[in-house]
Structure 1
Amino acid sequence: MQKRRRLRSPSPTYNLDNDDDSYEPYIPVAQRRQEKLAKLSTLGVNANKNRAKEHPEELDEQEDALEEEEMRREIVRKERTLLMEAQEVHLKKAAEDSKKSAGEKAEEADAEILEAIKSRRKLASDMELARGITYTESLKTRHDIWRPPKYIRERSEAQHHALRGKFHILVEGDDIPPPIEHFVDMKIPEAILEYLKSKRIVTPTPIQLQGIPTAFSGRDIIGIAFTGSGKTLAFCLPLIMLALEEESKLPFVRGEGPVGIILCPSRELANQTYENVVTWCAALAKDGKYPPLNSLLCMGGISMSDQSHVMSKGLHIVVATPGRLIDMLEKKKFTLDSCKYLCMDEADRMIDLGFEEDVRNIMSFFKHQRQTLLFSATMPRKIQEFARESLIKPVLVNVGRAGAANLDVLQVVEYVKQEAKMVYLLECLQKTPPPVIIFSENKNEVDDIQEYLLLKGVEAVAIHGSKTQEERQYAIKSFKSGAKDVMVASGVASKGLDFSEIQHVIIFSMPKEIEDYVHQIGRTGRSGKTGIATTFVNMNTPEQTLLDLKYLLMEAGQKVPPFLSSIDDPRAAQGVSSKGCPVCGGLGHGISNCPKLEDAQRRQMASHRATDDGGGY
């Protein structure tokens, strides 16, 4: 068998005549050692220099020892596992935690949860986020022309501060516009002033006193004030004046507009706001001095074709709920290309987990910078911080604590067994003359209460989310007109609806979230009037909710019944300060056991499960 010849790699060729300087010359060992000694001497080790010269073998031994030590350390580092490092970190953290009080631990845990649920993206259009567009100055509009009267501008900051203190107004921000005590000094048209006088609105409320001048100045606003304090006028009037200015410059034609949008979380609130806007615009155009302004109501449950006459003339103002507005924008019934004003009523709900994606979708239709106003009676710290990041040099106008109850409402909390509620309800209706609102969290219970009252001869209507739009509109219209004495409602009627003559609100079932309670009792005691709120509680009411209610009563200076006083706050024993939950504003719990956050997480998990299940066959 013939052996195969092994192939060898070719021998290297050497060019001995190459003059290239890229090769390193050979340095003898003795010379290299001398260079090492020179380096040692420059580092300040002259004491060992002579010894190294006399005993060069010792230098080699030292170098070998250093190399062995470095190799040993490297082996130890490789043998060290991640588990060992994690155990050391855990032990170190445990040692640090042992030095902290229970209160400090609880506050740190709350801070970690709050950081985890913070929104990652600010409220801006997709174009602005993609291009990294950031606005640093307030919107330049007609507001540059508007300014307060000279005598107000000449007041010192101390005088402005004293006036705000008189009306318990708290403000935060840079270059805050001055408060104005009289409507006439706000330079509002005489026609609107006359209409306000006819409705016995003579002087601005605290939120209007600071909020309207701030909005007229073109600034972004976070407006917080208790229910029934006149927030609607504070954000509608600046939009009406802006639309009037634009129409006066050049009349709008079909396809143009709107100038501004007011977003509302419910149909009832959108309809009520729309009616106010139409009324004020009609009063403005009544004497013929000012051009008519066109307003559009954009919400589910109504036919938009019925308002085609409005859209054929050009739009100035749109009052909308998020879902229907998105539908109209996607169908290009109108655009937001020239929209300069965006207001969200009940803003904490609008940018909360329920509507946040819808709001972001709406923001994507804006093409230019806009003035943004957020108003609500309850705005927890989480929403305030998120709003500050999203707005441009915002001014925070706060009348009282965000989420505090209206001080004009007498709050009566009574312990009533579940089986005795219906009978006791008839007794409570005798406290005041009609109209009266009864709130329940359960839709079926709303219908049961209405049926019971009708059987007892009480003229009652019911409203909840499962009713048709016609039924809901009939209930509100008949109740407002006085044709019906009692309205039984779920939470849908608690946000922003204005029933000025109501003296009594009965909360048949206490809501889990204290925010909802604040909104519900706020249906009475509006516009400076007083009212009564009677709340039924029993063993079915969660203790945490009762604790929130207890602190709310104490804050408002109301009588706390003995069964509420006996409830102890577990955080007090730990030394945790009662700053209130940053998610819902409740004073009786922290973020770690917030019912609103738990409910939001439960809904989110349910939606994820539905998405996962929908993928199969």
Structure 2
Amino acid sequence: MTTETRHRRYERSRSPPTYKLDDEDETYEPYIPVAQRRQEKLAKLSSLGFNSGRKTEKKQEEEREAQEEEQQEEELKKEKARKERTLLVEAQEVHLKKATEESKKTAEEKAQEADAEILDAIKSRRKLASDMELAKGIQYSEPLKTSWKPPRYIRERKPDLDRVLREKYHILVEGEDVPPPIEHFSDMKIPEPILDYLRTKRIVTPTPIQLQGIPVAFSGRDIIGIAFTGSGKTLTFCLPLIMMALEEEMKMPFIRGEGPVGIILCPSRELANQTYENVKTWCEALARDSKYPQLNTLLCIGGISMNDQSHIMSKGLHIVIATPGRLIDMLEKKRFTFNNCKYLCMDEADRMIDLGFEDDVRNIMSFFKHQRQTLLFSATMPKKIQDFARESLIKPVLVNVGRAGAANLDVLQVVEYVKQEAKMVYLLECLQKTPPPVIIFSENKNEVDDIQEYLLLKGVEAVAIHGSKTQEERQYAIKSFKSGAKDVMVASGVASKGLDFNDIQHVIIFSMPKEIEDYVHQIGRTGRSGKTGIATTFVNMNTPEQTLLDLKYLLMEAGQKVPPFLASIDDPRAAHGGGSLTGCPVCGGLGHGISNCPKLEDTQRRQQAAHRTVDTGGGY
């Protein structure tokens, strides 16, 4: 058989497939609606002799099945309807509904919603605690217990009298079981040698922040202390630590490797050094009386050799004053430990948390082995930092003397419009207003050097200080200025935080800082300890309008003269009723809201460029 024949036979054997219509298919069952099937079943059951009034279990089961089938059919119909509605139609409806709701809102409501969203994002920060405590879920419910008690007559004083006393000194307090205010140092049970020393410095009665803050700290309570510059905050948080260290030393003398009892953190080297000198002086005054032991204080900052303090390190440590970077270095090298440390204070606390030190502070907290008393002090502590602190502290007491971020009322603020090219010449005229010493502030490091050079050429004895100077240069500038060897100090913002200079009558702000907080700190270098002073500020067209608006409201709040060019600046929020003196919750500025806060913008910019941080004056 040939191949061709085989192929033909194979093709004939393969017949094409045949298809049946639905009605010809033996397995095909026509669709019967559910209602019809249910009637047929009922008829079938009735024909079998069942009484419709007496339903058997089988009949009930049949009816349940019928109902389930009916529900399934309804769901199929709904699903089909849903599929027919496109996503585009739904999106259009949602957008239309949202647009209708938005059109009903006023501009003020929209601004408030935007501010609330930003605040919610800020509040997402985890609380200020060590990683170990957060990981293990350790939470302390009660503050530290101390042996200190106020005199009986103060303890038995009626709460109404405490309230009257606070109103007299314009002290605002918040918290549970706030300790009573005390008007005299002697009633605070402070050792006589320290009181004698304070009298030599003409410190006879406590200032408002000391009057309430020291009893709160002596009681072992966590505290948020807010008071204007030059109000005596340093004594308020240093004295309780000295007393705590004294008590521990008198129970059992410290030996090498023990301590410290407490630590004070500062954002800059200069402020840490100033605090160290104060604490050292008070401890020496205490030790002059043979009844009391010598307390050892260590300064732990960058730019100095720790070998110079080896004689302190070889003894038991009682108090450490430090900047975060160098302190972490010492702790990691195990030069000392926090095994017995139970007191942590942060001076200029809002700057500590906001200037990129937050992670360092958490790192430092991780070295604590037990519960600690935490104290936060600053002249400018916006609501955002206050809320953050409340969540991090244990039943804290807020002690507020005046609005947080308000200017010192003892400072006469003069704002003058000076063109950029005329600043240097006009500076010499301003120096004639008062006798030296005078501080000049500029935000630009190069400008600081230019001003110093110009003044030296004009025969003015001037020194300069900024973050790019070496530690020796910075110490020399501060020492020579404090001693009176130099008449003028030109400084960047590094000298504006907490530094205390004697008898400064005049502060000149050569370039207005963008953040109003920095301005408050800078003018606060004068008008300290009840004295008066003058602050002259240069502004021009280079100054942002938002900053000028903050300045305008600050002058109005302090009852100062507002120059016409500043008074003519309109608040854009006033158009929809938002120009109230409530203050920005982030920086406390009165002339803007959180949505355009310069401090928040600067923080975001720093976070984005964290890998390119530069030394701004003392983190290490």
1:15 corresponds to which residue?
A: none
1:489 corresponds to which residue?
A: 491
2:545 corresponds to which residue?
A: 543
Q: Distance in 2 between matches of 1:59 and 1:227?
A: 81
| CA offset digits 1:161-190 (Å, max 9, x no partner) | 110000000000000000000000000000
Indicate the SS of the match to 2:316: coil
The 3 A distance-change label for structure 1 pair 342 and 59 is closer
| CA offset digits 1:350-405 (Å, max 9, x no partner) | 11151101101101111110000000000011110000000000000000000000
Q: Does 1:94 align with 2:99?
A: yes
The 3 A distance-change label for structure 1 pair 328 and 87 is farther
Equivalent residue letter for 1:77: R
Structure 2 residues not aligned, in runs of 5+: 1-37, 47-51, 614-620
2:346 corresponds to which residue?
A: 344
Query: What's the C-alpha RMSD, in Å, of the aligned pairs?
Result: 2.5
Does the CA-based 8 Å contact 1:102-1:575 persist in structure 2? no
| CA offset digits 1:86-132 (Å, max 9, x no partner) | 54443333222222221111111101011112243111112111110
2:73 corresponds to which residue?
A: 68
2:617 corresponds to which residue?
A: none
520, 536, 542: which one aligns with 2:522: 520
Q: Distance in 2 between matches of 1:468 and 1:608?
A: 23
1:137 corresponds to which residue?
A: 142
What is the number of residues matched between the two proteins? 566
Indicate the SS of the match to 1:372: strand
Q: What are the residue-to-residue correspondences of 1:596-615 with 2, within 5 Å? A: 596-607=599-610
Indicate the SS of the match to 2:148: coil
202, 205, 212: which one aligns with 1:203: 205
Q: Does 1:370 align with 2:372?
A: yes
1:291 corresponds to which residue?
A: 293
1:127 corresponds to which residue?
A: 132
105, 113, 120: which one aligns with 2:110: 105
Indicate the SS of the match to 1:487: strand
| CA offset digits 1:568-604 (Å, max 9, x no partner) | 0000102224421111111100111111111111122
Does the CA-based 8 Å contact 2:354-2:603 persist in structure 1? no
Indicate the SS of the match to 2:454: helix
Q: Does 1:115 align with 2:120?
A: yes
Q: Distance in 2 between matches of 1:183 and 1:360?
A: 35
**1:541 deviation in Å?**
0.2
2:155 corresponds to which residue?
A: 153
**Displaced runs of 4 or more, over 6 A:** 29-34, 47-50, 56-63
TM-score using structure 2 length = 0.88
Q: Distance in 2 between matches of 1:59 and 1:245?
A: 83
1:214 corresponds to which residue?
A: 216
Q: Distance in 1 between matches of 2:387 and 2:54?
A: 66
**1:499 deviation in Å?**
0.6
Q: Distance in 1 between matches of 2:365 and 2:62?
A: 78
1:590 corresponds to which residue?
A: 593
**1:69 deviation in Å?**
2.5
**1:337 deviation in Å?**
0.8
Q: Distance in 2 between matches of 1:58 and 1:242?
A: 83
Indicate the SS of the match to 1:326: helix
Q: Distance in 1 between matches of 2:296 and 2:480?
A: 27
Does the CA-based 8 Å contact 1:412-1:535 persist in structure 2? yes
| CA offset digits 1:184-230 (Å, max 9, x no partner) | 00000000000000000000000000000000000000000000000
The 3 A distance-change label for structure 1 pair 566 and 156 is same
Q: What are the residue-to-residue correspondences of 1:327-342 with 2, within 5 Å? A: 327-342=329-344
The 3 A distance-change label for structure 1 pair 84 and 209 is farther
Q: Distance in 1 between matches of 2:396 and 2:555?
A: 31
| CA offset digits 1:453-498 (Å, max 9, x no partner) | 0000000000000000000000000000000000000000000000
Q: Distance in 2 between matches of 1:126 and 1:276?
A: 33
The 3 A distance-change label for structure 1 pair 174 and 60 is closer
Does the CA-based 8 Å contact 1:110-1:592 persist in structure 2? yes
Q: Distance in 1 between matches of 2:42 and 2:505?
A: 101
444, 447, 461: which one aligns with 1:445: 447
Does the CA-based 8 Å contact 2:222-2:393 persist in structure 1? yes
1:316 corresponds to which residue?
A: 318
The 3 A distance-change label for structure 1 pair 32 and 237 is farther
How much identity, in percent, do the aligned residues show?
84
Equivalent residue letter for 1:186: M
Does the CA-based 8 Å contact 1:119-1:386 persist in structure 2? no
| Stretch deviating more after TM superposition (63-72 or 217-226) | 63-72
Q: Does 1:181 align with 2:183?
A: yes
The 3 A distance-change label for structure 1 pair 88 and 326 is farther
| CA offset digits 1:245-302 (Å, max 9, x no partner) | 0000000000000000000000000000000000000000112110000000000000
